[in-house]
Amino acid sequence: MKFRPLHDRVVIRRTEGDDISKGGIIIPDNAKEKPQEGEVVAVGPGLRDEGGKLVPLDVRTGDAVLFGKWSGTEVRIDGEDLLIMKEADVMGIVEMAAAAKNAV
């Protein structure tokens, strides 16, 4: 990708939504809600504090994150639909190791 976010912005790729509901009903594309989960593709360097020191972001490239329904700005970069948002719009990081243990 030829895009580098600035300051406290992160670039997120949405995860694919489910095609079938938990009850087994097939959901058409026009009725699907956009997922509020995604993978961090790129992060900015961080913000500067009052002393001018750079404070790095908590999220890293490759993190699975949850974000608000209306968070971010949708953009198309290199033919891929992505979201750009501030780190404050990210609600949390999904710990994959814990989810994998529960599935076993």
Q: What is the CATH number of the domain that holds 80?
A: 2.30.33.40
Query: Can you tell me the distance from the alpha carbon of 99 to that of 104, in angstroms, rounded to the nearest whole number?
Result: 9
Which residue segment(s) compose the domain that 49 sits in? 9-103
Query: Can you tell me the distance from the alpha carbon of 71 to that of 87, in angstroms, rounded to the nearest whole number?
Result: 10
pTM, rounded to two decimals: 0.74
Q: What pLDDT sits at residue 33? A: 63
Question: Domains in the chain: how many in total?
Answer: 1
Query: Across the 104 residues of the chain, what is the mean pLDDT of every consecutive 10-residue run?
Result: 84 77 65 76 90 89 89 88 91 73 54
| 10 beta partners | 43, 85
Number of other CB atoms surrounding residue 85 within 10 Å: 20
In a domain, residue 4? The reply is no
Q: What pLDDT sits at residue 40? A: 93
Beta strands per DSSP E along the chain: 9-14, 37-43, 47-48, 54-55, 64-67, 73-77, 80-86, 90-94
In a domain, residue 3? The reply is no
H helix or E strand, kind and range, residue 101: helix 96-103
Q: What pLDDT sits at residue 49? A: 87
